[in-house]
Structure 1
Amino acid sequence: MKNVINRALFAALLAGSTVTAIGTSAPAAAQVGGIVHDPRNYAQNILTAARTLEQINNQISMLQNQATSLANEARNLTSLPVSTLQELQGQVDRTRQLLGQAQRVAFDVGDIQTAFDARYKGAALSGSQAAMVANAEARWNDSVGAFQDAMKVQAGVVTNMGVTRQSIGTLVSASQSATGALQAAQAGNQILAVQSQQLSDLAAAISAQGRAQMLDAARSAAAEAEGRERFRRFRKAD
């Protein structure tokens, strides 16, 4: 198209130069074979045609740019074809189930208060000999159960690591092959969700381990208090 415009401009300039060379010695129009030919009007028509072609070329370029822009917008609005939400929710649910299976002293404020009032302090450390023995055994069972629960939660976290690894691989591949901004953003959001799930598992493992350690420390403190009570009774008996 540009070649056509250039040829038209060249013809117009040639016609203009012909008119200039003729000057006043030649008429503005000539009659050849009964047809009137006006070189000035002919040159003007060529220039008009050239300008029209240039405008059409500019409009075609604008339409091509708009089509490219629309195609890019369509790619940017395309959703990510993969989702790991179901797998992540399953992992969180499994960890919560393990925490909910806590033996004896559960992760509940009221349950903890009841257990400590019954076995770890106050009258529980100064009752009858039989009651003291029973409470000591109950405290030992609390500690053993808590350590067992902690190991279960840790085993569940380790199991989740395999699923998490697969999810990360899927999301990284999807992010690298993303065709638009929306897909890249969705892949990034799902990777953040995987990290949140890992933090949730870590918090669960720390909580279970902390519970076992606190119950064992409470058992040691109760045993010490119970020992003092036994020694006091022994001295009083003498």
Structure 2
Amino acid sequence: MTCKRLCHMLAAGAAALSLSLGSAPAQAQWTVFDPWNYAQSLLTAARELQQIQNEIQGLQNQAQSLINQAHNLANLPYSSLQSLQQSIQRTQALLGQAQRIAYDVQKIDQAFSTTYAPASASQSNQALVANAQARWQNSLAALQDAMRVQASVVGNLDTNRAQTSALVTSSQGASGALQAAQAGNQLMALQAQQLADLTAVLAAQGRAQALESAQRAAAQDQGREQLSRFLVPAAGYQPTTVTLFH
């Protein structure tokens, strides 16, 4: 029963009581009960009760609002940051361990001005052979580095799959907006780590392909130089006597 309905009932009862008492013989000597004042008092008490209930409801709403805010401000209990950082550090370490010609602009320029430079007539045959061997070793090392990076990225797949599952579960079970946002941010960080792995693979593979192409180009140039030396009329092939056994 609401307080408004209670007030109507009290007012109706007080009016009926007033009519009933008003029809009785007046006896001012002993009638001290004033039904109208009594009804007004009841209505005032009912209004005060309604006001108290409204205040209680307001306090309950405020308490629920504080509870909701606490849920929205609660931190996500799960964090994948450490695992992601370890995966990125492993890939960065492999890139930093690149053999021979690494990811350094100055070293690359130096190598292409010496080892990969066009062959000249002033170079000795021993120098040409040494450069060819160095280029082959560079290509072989770059292929090995690329395969190591690829192996590391493939090893990260299981970790990334576990992190994705845990973050999706945490996002679905988030109790507030902050937890949901943090789970979403960590999923974006996981995607960034996967893009970093993909970038590392492409860089390592591109480095290997570039060195292989540079080796072929230098080998072709060196082959032309060696052929021109062989075909010089004054320094052509001269048969000699060779002793195999003493």
Structure with bigger helix share is 1
1:19 aligns with 2:18: yes
Percent of aligned pairs sharing the same letter:
52
Q: Which moved more, 1:108-117 or 1:142-151?
A: 108-117
- 5+ residue gaps, structure 2, are 237-246
Runs of 4+ in 1 over 6 A off after TM superposition: none
Aligned-pair distance for 1:126? Answer: 5.6
Equivalent residue number for residue 56 of structure 2:
60
Alignment of 1:129-144 (within 5 A): 129-144=125-140
The answer to whether the 8 Å contact 2:102/2:108 transfers is: yes
Alignment of 1:1-238 (within 5 A): 2=1, 6-19=5-18, 34=30, 36-122=32-118, 127-237=123-233
Q: What SS does structure 1 have at the residue aligned with 2:161? A: helix
TM-score, normalisation: structure 1? 0.90
Deviations 1:109-155 (Å, cap 9, x if unpaired)? 11111222221114578611111111111111111111111000000
- The CA RMSD measured in Å over matched residues stands at 2.3
Distance of 2:79 and 2:101 partners within structure 1: 38
Aligned-pair distance for 1:236? Answer: 2.6
- The code of the aligned residue for 2:93 comes to Q
- 5+ residue gaps, structure 1, are none
Q: What SS does structure 2 have at the residue aligned with 1:106? A: coil
Aligned-pair distance for 1:11? Answer: 2.4
Change over 3 Å in CA distance of 1:220–1:109 after alignment to 2? same
What number of residue pairs does the alignment pair up? 234
Distance of 1:94 and 1:143 partners within structure 2: 23
Distance of 2:77 and 2:144 partners within structure 1: 41
Deviations 1:134-191 (Å, cap 9, x if unpaired)? 1111111111111111000000000011111111111111111111111111111111
Distance of 1:141 and 1:179 partners within structure 2: 58
Deviations 1:17-57 (Å, cap 9, x if unpaired)? 4435777x679x9658x460111111111111111111111
The answer to whether the 8 Å contact 1:126/1:226 transfers is: no
The answer to whether the 8 Å contact 2:118/2:218 transfers is: no
